[in-house]
Amino acid sequence: MASKSIGIGLIGQKFMGRAHSNAWSQAAKFFDLPVGARLAVVSARDRKELGAFAQRFGWAKSTPKWESLADDPDVDLVDIGTPNHLHAEQALRMLEAGKHVACEKPLARTLAEARVLRDAAAAAGRKVKTFVWHNYRRAPAIGLAWNLMREGRLGKIFHVRARYLQSWGAKSTPMSWRYSAATAGSGAHGDLNAHLVDLTRFLMGEAIVDVHGAVAPTFVTSRAVPGTKRRERCDVDDAALFLATFEGGAVASFEATRLAEGHLNDNTVEINGERGSLRWSLEDMNVLEWCDAEAPPRLRGWTKILATSAGNHPYAAAWWPDGHIIGYEHGFTNMAADILRVLGGKKPELPLPDFADAYETCRVLEAALLSAKHRCAVAMNDVP
């Protein structure tokens, strides 16, 4: 167990608040880290639930006033797990106070907000670290894919194919902050394509240089407001699809939707190269599918690699014996461990996205929205 600890302040107690709380509490229990995490304070607006949440997840204290975390001497890092429209204000306040910041994705509602956060992080100096919770980078199978690509096992890349399909956005789904541009920024695009763009940029190690075309329709135009007889207008996309090119010449397709019946959380990435292909799906997250194009024809085809082997697959050594799979929550814990490594002066097991990195993902998202709006191709050089 690490002798030193980093004081964590968390803003948010819902879905991501639960996931992040669990991650911070588990990281030092499973990983040998230079510093541990101390659950100092949690802040959320639901006063009725806040005290019980803090007690259940082991937070030392709680407050409904998130601003107070900036001046709290017990807090070294502020973890932002709130809706998108709150990210900019909260992150800026904490950066100004000299706190490290870990922010949920997407970094911000709009590219303009993301740019402000990127610049504020740079102005805060090297001692202040920023992180963005693109936690799917932390799946051991994705780590194996990243290593295979660094080793050149795929050769020249031709195709990148990415989809994130969900089905919870039917007409019967009530209105929430996720369906309003004022609070979410965009719909399936910012929520799901943000993950796809980050994952593919991470694996490729290249920038996207052009978006060739996009569509971002809204199929359900109004939704019932919970507890009332009113309906409110939905002004974000229900689905977003676009085509793009990476700087090395690979062509890419991205598809995100909340209206694909039969798909609960189908986050899938496939990459095809001259020497082979790889494929990963969140719904079978421990497996990396690999096809060796240089194998004899009688042996050529998709092979399933169960990425649970200590010493061979990233993060696997911290968990269970070979074949004893991990789940969704472990991606957050693996990321918390890497954040603590960085704050303790060590290298992360795999590269972490900071505000500058996440800003580049936001640029691609913006280019796709511009392409859909104006029905045209958009060069990334035209999206500053």
Question: Quick check: 1 pLDDT over 70?
Answer: no
pLDDT of residue 51: 95
The alpha-helical segments, DSSP class H, found in 125-168 are 140-150
Question: Quick check: 4 pLDDT over 80?
Answer: yes
Question: Quick check: 3 pLDDT over 90?
Answer: no
pLDDT of residue 104: 98
Across the range 73-86, mean pLDDT stands at: 98
How confident is the model over 161-191, as pLDDT tens digits? Answer: 999 999 999 999 999 999 999 999 999 999 9
Mean pLDDT, the chain, whole residue set? 97
Taking the whole predicted model, whether its pTM rises above 0.85 is answered as: yes
% pLDDT > 90, the chain = 99
CA atoms of 134 and 194, how far apart (whole Å): 9
Across the range 286-303, mean pLDDT stands at: 96
Residue 348 preceded by cis peptide, ω within 30: no
How confident is the model over 239-264, as pLDDT tens digits? Answer: 999 999 999 999 999 999 999 999 99
Only one residue has tokens 């100092």, namely: 40
Question: Quick check: 292 pLDDT over 80?
Answer: yes
Question: Quick check: 109 pLDDT over 70?
Answer: yes
Contact call for residues 370 and 187 (beta carbons, < 8 A): no
Band of pLDDT at residue 304, cut at 50, 70 and 90: very high
DSSP H or E stretch at residue 91? helix 84-96
Contact call for residues 13 and 53 (beta carbons, < 8 A): yes
Question: Quick check: 2 pLDDT over 90?
Answer: no
Across the range 81-105, mean pLDDT stands at: 98
Across the range 293-318, mean pLDDT stands at: 97
Q: Would you tell me how many other CB atoms lie within 10 Å of the CB of residue 44?
A: 21
The structural domains of the chain, ordered by start, are 5-135 (3.40.50.720), 139-318+354-374 (3.30.360.10)
Upper half-sphere CA count for residue 268 (Cβ side, 13 Å)? 16
How far is it between the farthest Cα atoms of the chain?
Answer: 65
